[in-house]
Structure 1
Amino acid sequence: MSHEHQHHDDQHGHSGHAGHGDHVAQFRRLFWIMLVIAVPVIGFSAMFAMLLGYSLPAQGWVAWVSPLLGTLMYVWGGKPFLTGAVTELRARQPGMMLLIALAITVAYFASLGASLGLLDHQLDFWWELALLIVIMLLGHWIEMRALAQTTSALDSLAALLPDEAERVEGDSTVTVAPADLRIGDVVVVRPGGRVPADGAVVSGAASMDESMITGESRTVRRSEGDAVVAGTVATDSGLRIRISAVGDDTALAGISRLVAEAQNSSSRAQRIADRAAGWLFWFALGAGILTAIVWTLIGLPDEAVVRTITVLVIACPHALGLAIPLVVSIATERAAKGGVLVKDRLALEGMRTVDTVLFDKTGTLTTGRPQVVGIHSAPGTDDDQLLALAAAAESDSEHPLARAIVSAAHDRGLVVASASDFASSPAVGVTATVDGRRIRVGGPRLLEEEGVSAISDPDADASTVLHVVADGTVLGSLRLSDTVRPESREAVDALRALHVQVVMITGDAEAVAAAVAAELGIDRYFAGVRPEDKAHAVRTLQAEGRRVAMVGDGVNDAPALAQADVGIAIGAGTDVAIASAGVILAGDDPRSVVSVIDLSRATYRKMTQNLWWAAGYNLLSVPLAAGVLAPIGFVLPMSVGAILMSLSTIVVALNAQLLRRLDVSPEASVRRALGHSASARSSTPASDRELARASR
């Protein structure tokens, strides 16, 4: 939030998005009231009448309309600027509000002096004063409305919760407010209804629309045992859900907090804008003093007042104060709607310069859910028998590999016998009694304990292999692999199209890492990396002069996320990983990384455009207002200066609003990246393309 916006909040006791909403109403009301009052002030202004060529009575009540109503406008309509100026003076941070207050104060007292006959009648600025206050209020109204709109992400997140929930009590349901739900309650979500709080499905299955949380447009099938999140919609059938989190503990509340933190966080670009506003203040003050001195020295003191006021009005860095916070706030909102939560605005700004993205393999590029991809049985044992025995032994284990084996047996429709005497040994495997036989399932260490050799499997190199041993005899082996996400290849291709190197890091063996890297088209990877060494891999890339974004989801990724120039946590990951990251992907789509880069670059372009427009306008217009072209007969009128100054604010606001048109969904970002790459290739002459291929 910029310095001046803090003043707004301080003056009126507002904070957050509610404050901006109140400011919109205040400035809208004040603008319309002042506009009505300004009409007679301008119409009965002697100077305005002279400019348009109509006459006013020299004596009587008419002569006091502009002074009386002008005083009302100065005191009432100018109050936001005057109080803002006092706040800036107390903080010893002169800026835009002080400049506006100075301009309207000088204009007011000059006009009052002219009306009372104490000063030259040419200093009758009532119409300029009225016009200035009205235009400034209009600019502030537009600014506050724009700032209020940037909080619509928070408003829309809050609106995702239903107004009421149906809680199951005995054989009936009771309608209650979501706030009255408690952990353990069972609620009914009807077709088309929204989930009132986080929980797990206890009965039913439905296609869930989770786009408002994850940014993913496709529905996701959720059935018994699956977790569901508050705010998501059951599109086709009803569910019964047991509540696991309520109120501030829900994922939706967490997302709201992250969006609010991001919108309130400071940023490097904002600090640059604040410094620029400070420089412009001294530039304006110096220009005003120099203008007053020069015009006075050449014998035109009245013109010195006019020129000085005009300089002070035009030099107000109003547009500059709006240039950065508005763009970044809109970018934060757009990101949230695309399932990208910006916890630290510096991370969003930094993504545009990232040239290397380091992906943790498991749970990021892959699903993190292993599947049985091959069965290799010994002679005399068929595949189904081997899988059924392994599933029986593993049925009491919670390990992901065990669940994959049991799931594979169920998928084949096999009968899985009951097991007894279950025991598990870390890094070795499991042991259980199945139909009177001692069945063991595990890796190489299990074979060492049993003193037996594995059955040769030529396809085992790129997979995790678990051996099945019955009463000391090897019956065969199961190959399991973590499946690659279907979106991962698109993410890798799009990042390369953006000239970003993709690197993979994993604790898996070299062969497993090589297979996944080959499938995804990744040229460089770190394999066999222990959790504590992941941060070292980031430092290795940084030592090569690379700006690194690390993408991970686990506890062991937290040090690497913190070490990276930008840490990106998969939202489905752990709290530790999320706390270490500057950007959080609400879903688990790796293509969202492309969205972050896309949004970061678009945001930087808008900020640059706004800074050039705001600062460039001031630097060009101040000399014109001071009268540098007066020798050739051109001086910038105060009224035109006021109009142009407010127009610059409106241009900056409208330019920032264009960022809302950017579709930051993963699909759209990937399409743009690949489209740009294709168009760049097609625009390269054939001879150049051949030369490029030859150089590679």
Structure 2
Amino acid sequence: MQHNHSKHAETATRNVHHGSRAAHEQHSHEQHAEHHHMHHEQHITQSGNQHAPMQHGGHTGHAGHSEHAGHSEAMFKRPFWISLVLSIPVVALAEMVQHMLGYHLPTFPGSAWIEPILASVIFWYGGWVFLRGAFDELRVFKPGMMTLVALAISTAYIYSLAVSFGLVSGMPFYWEMATLVTIMLLGHWMEMRAIGSAQSALKELAKLLPDVAERITPSGTEKVPVSALQMDDVLLVRPGSQIPADSVVLEGESQVNESMITGESRPQHKQPGEEVIAGTVNGSGSLRVRVVRTGEKTMLAGIMRLVEEAQQSRSQAQALADRAAYWLTFVAAGVALITLIAWTIAQGFNDVTLERVVTTLVVACPHALGLAIPLVIAISTALSARNGILVRDRLALEQARKLNAVIFDKTGTLTKGEQGLVRMLTQPTVREDEALARAAAIEGDSEHIIARALMSAARERHLSLPQVSQFQALPGRGVQAQIEGRTFQVGGPRLLAQAGVQLPTAFVDTVRAWGHSGQTVVYLLEERTVQAAFALADVIRPESREAVAALKKQGIRVAMLTGDSQEVAEWVAKELDIDEVFAQVLPEHKSEKVRELQRSGAKVAMVGDGVNDAPALAQADVGIAIGAGTDVARASAGIVLVKNDPRDILRIITLSKASYRKMLQNLAWAAGYNVIALPLAAGVLAPLGFVLPPAFGAVLMSLSTIIVALNAQLLRGLRLNDQSA
């Protein structure tokens, strides 16, 4: 199975790329500078669009995309090596090099044509990628990086041929042209490798799905391609194998590693009735599962679709960089023309003048500007996806660094959205664990919300439950059963009232406070005596306290929004140390509360479950849907969190600030390089005896792009899981 994984990664993107590319080209007039990296940013995009295997439910026909991804690198790699080998004799035969190094090669009839013949092979074979790129750019009236390089090598080559054929006098530029092509090929090859690695996380996602699944049939099992799976198929998932489709467990228990999808580091225990996600890895137990989603509806497909959308969404900084790169092409061409005129006036048109023009064309690097932002976008999007943070809209991630207010929806966001035991009070003679075990045992067979809360609390404490007998429901009051011959009852205030039981004096004030906080109170009675009282409420997530404290530590206002009563809202706010509370707010009025904070000048993030918070999520500067689980396509939010972890808000802010810093660093380097390099190439320091040779100009140009690429790669070292404080 493993040997096909690279194949998966390669073609996983084909079909989806056509759709995304069409949308991309639809507004190409806005992206007038993309020509500077048309061969490179397309590579970014194509490496990342790995949705196709999902679209048909499987991985059939895995042969297209990666051939392009691989071809992008091979497009420079093979010509580089051939050009390098051919450049050695070209450089060795150059009269200038022989003179500089003090040696002389013997000549023979026709030897003068060895250099131009080899140089011609280098120009047409090694330089073809630049010539073709220039043709593509000029065909759509978008001159860019390839146009500048093609102009430089064509000028040097044509002038050199003219010298060889005796049409003009001077020194040929064959060795300069050969080294120029070779160095440019090396630089672009290195650049392709850097860009390709920016998409490694997405390629890994495409590898997660197995080739085949083991489907259970009346006669046993059969191996079928994942593409052939249908809804409600029952599959056997063996220990250590990958889950082939989103499914529900029918039989068996196991620990499933979901870290590659959700970012959750600990394996998750799965038992009958629970969902498993396509691409995750089964642990030591065998599972029988029923398929509930296949193809493009799986969570894995949704994640890759969202990541692709994020990488293609326009960034404000990228739009600025694209415009700068676009105009830099014309600036470079203009400087080259001025250089030609100035040097021709100063000393006539000769090989020195031509050398300055060629160097000026080569040294300009709109490419570094053009790649400054897309590389950061590709890496930050992949980094966030690995941590369960799915960026649907790049602008949302950009805005996150400016946030100074965060509004949390209460239910399902700060709390678990389910009743749980939050307080307990017992008689001095009764141990808490003993009282809870009895209450849970009596309620054990019920599906009532109170029963589930008590049973869950007992499981969390790892309590063993006593045997019960003579179970009896008490309509409207609670339940009754015997434990070891003693009669116990579990119920609410009505049970006490109808039985005429008085609360112990020590319980009265505490139970009253629970009621005022909106908590449900349940009692355990033995005969007519209250043994224990349990307070049930929507359980606060343990991560919520840490998240709120960390946000406030950064000076960010934290508010809570809920449709619950004021009492319940204030209790949760007090527990979490939240100062601003909006209670009893209807879903349709939540967006108005967001506007209130925005009118006060705040940059607001709204964090909700994405179901009834859509207007508020859309109104906020940054809308964040939390706890999406397998439903990752929540359209109202710019950022979707797979997990129910409010601390991810801190991670979003950290990633936003870090990626923005990288963008600025790259832009500053790319712009600063061009400001310095262009005048040097034009020869402004020639009166002081310093001129920039064309080959060195090519080295500088390649280095500038590689530095931008490597700087973007440093973003990979960001530890988002350490950003919770």
Are residues 457 and 395 of structure 1, via their aligned partners in 2, closer, same or farther at CA, if it must alter by over 3 Å?
Answer: same
1:584 Cα shift? 1.3
Are residues 443 and 15 of structure 1, via their aligned partners in 2, closer, same or farther at CA, if it must alter by over 3 Å?
Answer: farther
- The structure 1 residue matched to 2:239, chosen from 182, 187, 191, is 191
**Secondary structure at the residue paired with 1:49?**
helix
Are residues 433 and 481 of structure 1, via their aligned partners in 2, closer, same or farther at CA, if it must alter by over 3 Å?
Answer: closer
Please say if residues 372 and 480 of structure 1, whose CA atoms lie closer than 8 Å, have aligned partners that are also in contact.
yes
Partner of 1:693: none
- The structure 1 residue matched to 2:624, chosen from 536, 560, 568, is 568
Partner of 2:717: 661
TM alignment of 1:37-436, pairs within 5 A: 37-57=86-106, 60-122=109-171, 124-170=172-218, 172-302=220-350, 303-373=352-422, 395=446, 403-404=452-453
Distance 2:420 2:704 in 1: 59
User: What letter is aligned with 2:723?
Assistant: S
Please say if residues 349 and 600 of structure 1, whose CA atoms lie closer than 8 Å, have aligned partners that are also in contact.
yes
Please say if residues 205 and 238 of structure 1, whose CA atoms lie closer than 8 Å, have aligned partners that are also in contact.
yes
User: What letter is aligned with 2:514?
Assistant: D
Distance 2:373 2:437 in 1: 66
Please say if residues 251 and 271 of structure 2, whose CA atoms lie closer than 8 Å, have aligned partners that are also in contact.
yes
**Secondary structure at the residue paired with 2:516?**
coil
User: What letter is aligned with 1:669?
Assistant: Q
Are residues 153 and 546 of structure 1, via their aligned partners in 2, closer, same or farther at CA, if it must alter by over 3 Å?
Answer: same
1:478 Cα shift? 7.0
Deviates more, 1:107-116 or 1:171-180: 171-180
User: What letter is aligned with 2:234?
Assistant: V
Distance 2:437 2:41 in 1: 74
Please say if residues 96 and 277 of structure 1, whose CA atoms lie closer than 8 Å, have aligned partners that are also in contact.
no
Residues 259-285 of structure 1 show CA distances to partners (whole Å, capped at 9, x for unaligned) of 222223332222111111122122212
Residues 172-216 of structure 1 show CA distances to partners (whole Å, capped at 9, x for unaligned) of 333333333322222232333322211122222222221111111
1:403 Cα shift? 4.8
Please say if residues 299 and 630 of structure 2, whose CA atoms lie closer than 8 Å, have aligned partners that are also in contact.
no
Please say if residues 517 and 523 of structure 1, whose CA atoms lie closer than 8 Å, have aligned partners that are also in contact.
yes
Distance 2:363 2:330 in 1: 14
Residues 228-287 of structure 1 show CA distances to partners (whole Å, capped at 9, x for unaligned) of 111222334332222211222211111121122222333222211111112212221221
Please say if residues 36 and 366 of structure 2, whose CA atoms lie closer than 8 Å, have aligned partners that are also in contact.
no
Q: TM-score, normalised by structure 1?
A: 0.83
Partner of 1:450: none
Distance 2:272 2:469 in 1: 21
Please say if residues 442 and 471 of structure 2, whose CA atoms lie closer than 8 Å, have aligned partners that are also in contact.
no
1:458 matches 2:513: yes
What is the alpha-carbon root mean square deviation over aligned residues? 3.8
Distance 1:232 1:80 in 2: 41
Distance 2:400 2:41 in 1: 33
1:41 Cα shift? 2.1
Distance 1:648 1:239 in 2: 53
Distance 1:238 1:157 in 2: 23
Are residues 368 and 79 of structure 1, via their aligned partners in 2, closer, same or farther at CA, if it must alter by over 3 Å?
Answer: same
Please say if residues 255 and 270 of structure 2, whose CA atoms lie closer than 8 Å, have aligned partners that are also in contact.
yes
1:443 Cα shift? 12
Distance 1:558 1:489 in 2: 25
Residues 418-439 of structure 1 show CA distances to partners (whole Å, capped at 9, x for unaligned) of 99999xxxxxxx999999xxx9
**Secondary structure at the residue paired with 2:572?**
helix
Please say if residues 421 and 539 of structure 2, whose CA atoms lie closer than 8 Å, have aligned partners that are also in contact.
no
Distance 1:343 1:443 in 2: 49
Partner of 1:538: 594
Residues 490-519 of structure 1 show CA distances to partners (whole Å, capped at 9, x for unaligned) of 222332333333222222222222222222
Are residues 461 and 433 of structure 1, via their aligned partners in 2, closer, same or farther at CA, if it must alter by over 3 Å?
Answer: closer
Partner of 2:58: none
User: What letter is aligned with 1:619?
Assistant: V
**Secondary structure at the residue paired with 1:358?**
strand
1:514 matches 2:570: yes
Distance 2:233 2:480 in 1: 39
Distance 2:647 2:637 in 1: 17
Distance 1:592 1:51 in 2: 62
1:549 matches 2:598: no
Deviates more, 1:156-165 or 1:169-178: 169-178
- The structure 2 residue matched to 1:622, chosen from 657, 671, 678, is 678
Are residues 285 and 367 of structure 1, via their aligned partners in 2, closer, same or farther at CA, if it must alter by over 3 Å?
Answer: same
Are residues 61 and 391 of structure 1, via their aligned partners in 2, closer, same or farther at CA, if it must alter by over 3 Å?
Answer: same
**Secondary structure at the residue paired with 1:108?**
helix
Distance 1:611 1:13 in 2: 18
**Secondary structure at the residue paired with 2:590?**
helix
1:38 Cα shift? 1.8
Distance 2:681 2:588 in 1: 63
User: What letter is aligned with 1:267?
Assistant: S
Please say if residues 41 and 374 of structure 2, whose CA atoms lie closer than 8 Å, have aligned partners that are also in contact.
no
- The structure 2 residue matched to 1:24, chosen from 35, 51, 73, is 73
**Secondary structure at the residue paired with 1:243?**
strand
Q: Percent identity of the aligned residues?
A: 49
1:132 Cα shift? 1.1
Are residues 225 and 10 of structure 1, via their aligned partners in 2, closer, same or farther at CA, if it must alter by over 3 Å?
Answer: closer
Are residues 71 and 401 of structure 1, via their aligned partners in 2, closer, same or farther at CA, if it must alter by over 3 Å?
Answer: farther
Please say if residues 84 and 97 of structure 1, whose CA atoms lie closer than 8 Å, have aligned partners that are also in contact.
yes
1:405 Cα shift? 6.5
**Secondary structure at the residue paired with 2:336?**
helix
Partner of 2:13: none
Residues 584-643 of structure 1 show CA distances to partners (whole Å, capped at 9, x for unaligned) of 112222222222211111111111111111111111011111111122222222221111
Please say if residues 350 and 565 of structure 1, whose CA atoms lie closer than 8 Å, have aligned partners that are also in contact.
yes
Deviates more, 1:332-341 or 1:488-497: 488-497
**Secondary structure at the residue paired with 2:419?**
strand
1:375 Cα shift? 7.9
Are residues 375 and 312 of structure 1, via their aligned partners in 2, closer, same or farther at CA, if it must alter by over 3 Å?
Answer: closer
The unaligned stretches of length 5 or more in structure 2 are 1-23, 25-32, 49-65, 427-433, 482-488, 495-502, 524-529
Please say if residues 245 and 278 of structure 2, whose CA atoms lie closer than 8 Å, have aligned partners that are also in contact.
yes
Are residues 11 and 477 of structure 1, via their aligned partners in 2, closer, same or farther at CA, if it must alter by over 3 Å?
Answer: closer
Deviates more, 1:498-507 or 1:567-576: 567-576
Distance 2:703 2:204 in 1: 31
TM alignment of 1:487-498, pairs within 5 A: 487-498=543-554
User: What letter is aligned with 2:515?
Assistant: A
Partner of 1:606: 662
The unaligned stretches of length 5 or more in structure 1 are 423-429, 445-453, 469-474, 675-696
Distance 2:45 2:376 in 1: 21
Distance 1:482 1:11 in 2: 49
Are residues 10 and 548 of structure 1, via their aligned partners in 2, closer, same or farther at CA, if it must alter by over 3 Å?
Answer: closer
Partner of 2:38: 7
Please say if residues 531 and 556 of structure 1, whose CA atoms lie closer than 8 Å, have aligned partners that are also in contact.
yes
Please say if residues 387 and 409 of structure 1, whose CA atoms lie closer than 8 Å, have aligned partners that are also in contact.
no
